Structure formats: C-alpha cells, structure tokens
Amino acid sequence: MHELGITQNIVAIVTEHAKGMKVQKVVLEIGKLSAIMPDAIKFCFDICSKDTLLENSLLEIIEIPGLAKCHQCGTEIALDKPFGVCQCGSVQLDLITGEELKIKEIEIEEICV
Amino acid sequence: MCVTCGCSDDAEGKITNLQTGEVNHHHDHHTHTHTLPDGTVITHTHHHDEAPQIHAKIHGTTISLEQDILAKNNLLAAQNRGWFKGRNILALNLMSSPGAGKTTLLTRTINDLKQQLPISVIEGDQETTNDAQKIKETGCKVVQINTGTGCHLDASMIERGVQQLNPPLNSVVMIENVGNLVCPALFDLGEQAKVVILSVTEGEDKPIKYPHIFRASEMMILTKVDLLPYVQFDVERCIEYAKQVNPHIQVFQVSAMTGEGLDNWYKWLTEKVAMSIPV
C-alpha cells in the first residue's frame, strides 16, 4: 500500500506550492508501468487532503501508456507490464514512457484585486 | 464583510443599477473582466461574501509543477549514497517476500565473512526486534527500524538508521528491507545495488508476477535450494523469467543451511567491496 505514502507526498508538495491559497484541482501523470494504482491514489486522496488546502479539490489522473524501444532492432512496442518480448525475439527493451509519477499542474483559487 | 478589503456590506457608496439590478460596491474591484482560457470574456459583479466562490468558478490560477512525486525521497537517497561513498561503505538493499530467508542468509554470511569483512545491518520490519536480535547474536552492529503501518523502508529512515548504526569506514552495510515484493522496488535508499531474494518454496513465476522488484535488482539470490528435492520448483524456468524481466540480472543459487553455492555470493560481495573501496 505504498500509495498512501505517495499520496501524503502529493499533498505535501501541493501544499508547499499553493502558498496558503485554496487548491481547486490537482493533475497527476501516472505511468501504467509505475506500480502505482490510480484508484488507490484516489481512495487515499480524500483522506490525506482532509483539513488541508487540498480538501474538496478535484483530482485528475492522466495515465500514460507504456512504450518501449527494442535495444536490438529499434522497434517500438506498446507495453502493459514493465517487460516484454520484441518480434525479433529480444527482451532487451528500453522503456520510453509508462514510468511517470509526477504532479503535472495544480489550479489554485485566486482572489483578484 | 468583504473578504478582499474588509469593509462592511453596509458601507456607503453602494451603487444600484435599476436596469440590470446590479449592486456595485464603492470599491470598483468587485466588477471586473475575466478572460477564460478558451478566450471567453466575462465581466461580472458579485457581493462581497461571494467573492471567493465566484472567483473559484471563474479563474483558478494554474501552476505547472511537473514535479516528480518521489523527488524528496530521491534527493535524500542521493545524500545517503554520498554519505556511504565518503566512508567507503558498500550498502546493499536486500528485498524479498516475507520468509524467503533474508535473515538466515545474512547471519550465515556475517558469520562466514566476519574475519575478512566488517558487516553491519539495518533491519526493516513492521514490528518486533526479532530479526535484529538474531543478527546481534553474530556479534555485528545492528539497528532495527520498525515501519509500523509502512510496507517498505525509505531514504529518510535509512538516513536516521545509519546515524544510529554508525558503521565503520571501509565496511559493508546490509539493509534488510521489509518483507514485500512490491513497494520496496519504488524507493531508492541510496544503496549501491538492490538484491532480490527468492526461495524455492515460492512460485518460480514470481519474477513475472512481481516484475518491478526483479527489474530493479542487480542480483537474484535463489535460496533454500537444499529443499529442491521436496518441492515443485523449476529453477531453469525461474531464471528464464527473471532474465525476461531483467536481461542483466545475475543469479546465484544458494542454501544458507548447507552452505551450497554461498562461495559465489561471497565472491561477488568481496569483488563489489573491492570496487567500492579503493585499496
């Protein structure tokens, strides 16, 4: 259940950047090969954001599909797990996308003057 | 009360437009124009106490962060790595499912190598100091980290652990992670190498069932090989799976009970120390 600790990290990072303003939306990018379950993050988010600047904010998760390049023949292969076999028979795959785990952007409330 | 300027709702200077019904405050900051991201222009007026709600709907400010969620852990891990390097210490992160034989392998290794290689241990478990007590009986330095509800060690725990452990210069620190084949793979502790331990009493398909940890590891130690005659475990297939997930992974087959295969592990360890510690 590493998602709980990860979500606590998310709340801490966003709180730091919100500088006291209420947070309306948090957008995450999570790769499908990152061993992080978006559903678990969503479950933890409501709990972890309670009584913080993030309370009741909208959580949006963009899932990045897995993509690798064969080290041997250069073919690009779509992956749903962090390993696979290329059509040339090689298992030496360099992951291009799918391991992302980041906060892409946040939207904070602004009171204009 | 106006949340922007603090003036009273009943303050003088209120302007009421009888055509539109709009009521404007004496400060003009309550009527203004917004341009939304799609180009739509909105001019609106609102009562004092509505300000935050209306603005929240109309114009939140987007801040692009592009920040790695594990950045803090990775920074601490980098600091730990520097700490180890500065003291010529080889740190290994030993990971496995519960009961794979990490502690038995460790106590045997410490006992067999204690004359030539100073080893100290950071033990990770959710609860109890049982494993640390077993390690302590070998005579080596050991610190137990109990993670409570946590399912893995992280870099800040190691930072605090090594301060307590105070390992000698030119030595080896074995970090025995919490028994778990999922979470420990994600957290860099500042170790030089991750080592995954798998026993023959588990399924041979563990490497493809839990690929992240096998991908992250430099080495797989297959333990309890003395039990192979009594269990259904296809060693060749297991290694094939491990290499499929991680073509560069090295594999040792050992028994900490009989001593079979331990020479290879000790040789690897000694060579790794020689690489980390300049003569």
User: Tell me: the pLDDT tens digits for A45-93?
Assistant: 999 999 999 999 999 999 999 999 999 999 999 999 999 999 999 999 9
A88: chain B residues, CB-CB within 8 Å: none
From the list B117, B124, B132, the residue with the least C-alpha distance to B168 is B117
Ranges A25-39, B48-62, B122-136: which has the least confidence: B48-62
- pLDDT band at B149; cut points 50, 70, 90: confident
Query: In sequence order, what are the residues at sequence separation of 6 or more whose Cβ sits closer than 8 angstroms to the Cβ of residue A109?
Result: A21, A22, A23, A24, B52, B55, B56, B60, B61
Q: Does B215 touch chain A (CB under 8 A)?
A: yes
CB pair distance less than 8 Å for B64 and A6: no
- pLDDT band at B167; cut points 50, 70, 90: very high
Query: pLDDT exceeding 90 applies to what percent of chain A?
Result: 89
Q: How many CA atoms lie within 13 A of B114 on its CB side?
A: 15
pLDDT in the model for residue B261: 97
CA of A3: which chain B residue's CA is closest?
A: B183
Altogether, the residues listed in chain B come to a count of 279
Return mean pLDDT, chain B: 85
Residue reference for tokens 């610190």 = B143
Structure tokens at B208: 């493809």
Nearest to A113 among B29, B64, B149 (CB): B29
ipTM of the complex: 0.87
Q: Does B244 touch chain A (CB under 8 A)?
A: yes
Can you give the pTM of this predicted structure? Answer: 0.81
pLDDT in the model for residue A109: 86
Q: Does B208 touch chain A (CB under 8 A)?
A: yes
Q: Does A109 touch chain B (CB under 8 A)?
A: yes
- pLDDT band at B16; cut points 50, 70, 90: low
Residue A99, SS3 per DSSP: coil
- pLDDT band at B56; cut points 50, 70, 90: very low
Q: Does B165 touch chain A (CB under 8 A)?
A: no
Rounded Cα distance, B26 and B15, in Å = 7
pLDDT in the model for residue B119: 97
Identify from B32, B69, B95, B181 which residue to disrupt to test chain A contact, counting A C-beta atoms within 10 A and taking the largest count: B69
Cβ count within 10 A of residue B136: 16
Strands A101-109 and A23-31: antiparallel
- pLDDT band at B4; cut points 50, 70, 90: very low
pLDDT in tens, B22-45: 655 544 445 556 565 555 555 555
B7: chain A residues, CB-CB within 8 Å: none
Identify from B67, B68, B147, B154 which residue to disrupt to test chain A contact, counting A C-beta atoms within 10 A and taking the largest count: B67
* Contact present, B222 and B191 (Cβ < 8 Å): no
Rounded Cα distance, B124 and B92, in Å = 13
pLDDT in the model for residue B40: 55
Residue B26, SS3 per DSSP: coil
**B2 to chain A, minimum CA–CA distance in Å?**
12
pLDDT in the model for residue B1: 38
Query: pLDDT exceeding 70 applies to what percent of chain A?
Result: 96
Q: Output the DSSP codes for B248-279.
A: T-EEEE--TTT-TTHHHHHHHHHHHHHHHS--
pLDDT in the model for residue B13: 47
B79: enclosing H helix or E strand: helix B71-86
Query: pLDDT exceeding 90 applies to what percent of chain B?
Result: 74
Q: Does A113 touch chain B (CB under 8 A)?
A: yes
CB pair distance less than 8 Å for A82 and B245: yes
pLDDT in the model for residue A110: 75
Residue B127, SS3 per DSSP: coil
Higher pLDDT, B30 or B194: B194
* Contact present, A63 and A38 (Cβ < 8 Å): yes
CA of A11: which chain B residue's CA is closest?
A: B69
Q: Does A103 touch chain B (CB under 8 A)?
A: yes
- Residue B96 above 50 pLDDT? yes
CB pair distance less than 8 Å for B246 and A5: no
Structure tokens at B64: 């692009």
- Residue B5 above 50 pLDDT? no
pLDDT in the model for residue B17: 53
Rounded Cα distance, B22 and B14, in Å = 10
Higher pLDDT, B61 or A65: A65
Judged by CB atoms within 8 Å, which residues 15-74 of A form the interface with B? Answer: 17, 22, 24-25, 28, 35-36
Alpha helices (H) in B181-234, listed in sequence order: 206-209, 211-216
Rounded Cα distance, A47 and B201, in Å = 38
B154: chain A residues, CB-CB within 8 Å: 5
